Amino acid sequence: MGKRNLISVVDMKDEWPALVDLGIKLKKERGHHGDPLKGKTLAMMFEKPSTRTRTSFDVAITELGGHALYLDVSKMQMGHGETVEDTARVLSRFVHGIMYRAFDYKMMDKLGEWATVPVISGLDNLEHPCQALADMITIKEKFGNFHGRKLVFLGDGNNVCNSLLYACAIMGMDMVACCPATRMPNAEILYNATQIANANGSKIIASHDPQEACKDADVLYTDTWISMGDTISVEEAVKLFQMYQINDDLLKIAKPDCIVMHCLPAHRGQEITNDVIESPHSVVFDEAENRLHAQKAVLYTLMKD
Ligand code: CP
Ligand code: NVA
């Protein structure tokens, strides 16, 4: 089989359940992996800041016996006029995989097309697939299953929401994307995810009504109201999204054992209150830790010989 990319969740649709299980297995086996990626180098290209993605990929490949190389795109020739097509072909002669955090999904797609080694998205403006994998690992750990469970995403229908739509549909979990009409998830992804969910016996729906959406929810999920690269002001965001904030009132509507998730970084007092993120319902730090185990599952699957 030729090289494969993970740019959209659906790039690894058929393997997604196995990736979730592999992440959980590797979590249990931490410290005892052997060196399955010995001698392999992962280039990590960043156009935007990162704490979790950068650290978890670096630690993940190191613990699998390989090595990570951090590349700040603004300091690369690609940040100064070299084409992405040339960058992809040059890096492919040096390294065994490329992780890329990009502003524009079109650049991500081009890198994926021209690189002869696997390209893994560390987020672009359309998706954040590795986050969605860590999130599915977290949900499986907390509940043990997906069927009949309901995740409600509240706020901006952004990259994290888009990847969750695919991930929930693939795992057979119900999902409500509860967002303002002007900030709905990507229409094509919403449609595709609905089709996948139908085939898997689950439901994906869009809503603008948080009170209604949160009824019987197993998971409440939110993300920043202003993603990296967005130009909306805080004042505009507050006006648009305030009613979608995860707070005690919304939490009371969900199931009593509902978990609260956030990909982080969080903006307490905006998309989520301090009380809720610090409450026993919140699993945000387990979720952050699971980025490490998710990255290992992806790196192992795409980069081992
Ligand atoms: N959740 C996430 O991707 O965090 P970073 O921006 O810190 O990588
Ligand atoms: N939606 C956020 C996710 C950050 C991890 C952003 O794109 O900035």
pLDDT digits (tens, 9 = 90+) for 64-83: 999 999 999 999 999 999 99
Closest C-alpha residue for ligand 1 atom 4: 52
Residue 193 pLDDT > 90:
yes
**What spacing in Å lies between the alpha carbon of 51 and ligand 1's midpoint?**
6
Closest C-alpha residue for ligand 2 atom 7: 227
* Ligand at shortest distance from the CA of 53: 1
Q: Mean of the pLDDT values across residues 278-287?
A: 98
> Which helix H or strand E contains 94, and what residues bound it?
helix 84-94
Can you give the pLDDT at residue 196?
A: 98
Known active-site residue 178: no
**What spacing in Å lies between the alpha carbon of 190 and ligand 1's midpoint?**
23
Using CB atoms within 10 A of its CB, is residue 260 exposed (0-12), middle (13-18) or buried (19+)? buried
Q: HEC string of 157-173?
A: CCHHHHHHHHHHHHHCC
Place 1 in a pLDDT band, splitting at 50, 70 and 90.
Answer: low
CB neighbour list of residue 254: distance below 8 Å, 6 or more residues apart: 152, 214, 215, 216, 217, 218, 220
Among 116, 105, 156, CA closest to 263: 156
Report the distance separating Cα 209 and Cα 168, nearest Å.
Answer: 20
Looking at the DSSP assignment, which residues form a beta bridge with residue 282? 260
Residue 95 pLDDT > 80:
yes
Q: Which amino acid is at 251?
A: L
DSSP line for 43-89: EEEESS--SHHHHHHHHHHHHTT-EEEEEEGGGSGGGGT--HHHHHH
Closest C-alpha residue for ligand 2 atom 2: 227
pLDDT digits (tens, 9 = 90+) for 151-178: 999 999 999 999 999 999 999 999 999 9
pLDDT digits (tens, 9 = 90+) for 213-263: 999 999 999 999 999 999 999 999 999 999 999 999 999 999 999 999 999
Q: Mean of the pLDDT values across residues 294-302?
A: 98
Ligand 2 binding pocket includes 263 (Cβ within 6 Å): yes
Q: Mean of the pLDDT values across residues 136-162?
A: 98
Residues in contact with ligand 1 (CB, 6 Å cut-off) = 50-53, 123, 131, 263-264
CB neighbours of residue 289 within 10 Å: 17
**What spacing in Å lies between the alpha carbon of 224 and ligand 2's midpoint?**
7
How much is the mean pLDDT over the chain?
98
Report the distance separating Cα 95 and Cα 271, nearest Å.
Answer: 39
Query: Which CA distances in Å does 56 have to 45, 50, 51?
Result: 14, 10, 8
Closest C-alpha residue for ligand 2 atom 1: 227
Residue 34 pLDDT > 80:
yes
Q: Mean of the pLDDT values across residues 92-111?
A: 98
Known active-site residue 128: yes
Q: Which atom of ligand 1 is nearest to the CA of 122?
A: 3
Q: Mean of the pLDDT values across residues 21-48?
A: 98
Our mutation pick for probing the ligand 2 site, out of 228, 230, 261, counting the most ligand atoms within 8 A of Cβ, is 228
Q: Mean of the pLDDT values across residues 178-195?
A: 98
Q: Could you give the domains of the chain?
A: 9-127+291-303 (3.40.50.1370), 131-287 (3.40.50.1370)
Among 243, 126, 221, CA closest to 174: 221
Q: Catalytic pick from 135, 179, 223, 262?
A: 223
Ligand 2 binding pocket includes 109 (Cβ within 6 Å): no
| pTM for the structure as a whole | 0.98
In contact, 99 and 42? CB cutoff 8 Å:
yes
Among 224, 227, 221, 225, CA closest to 250: 221
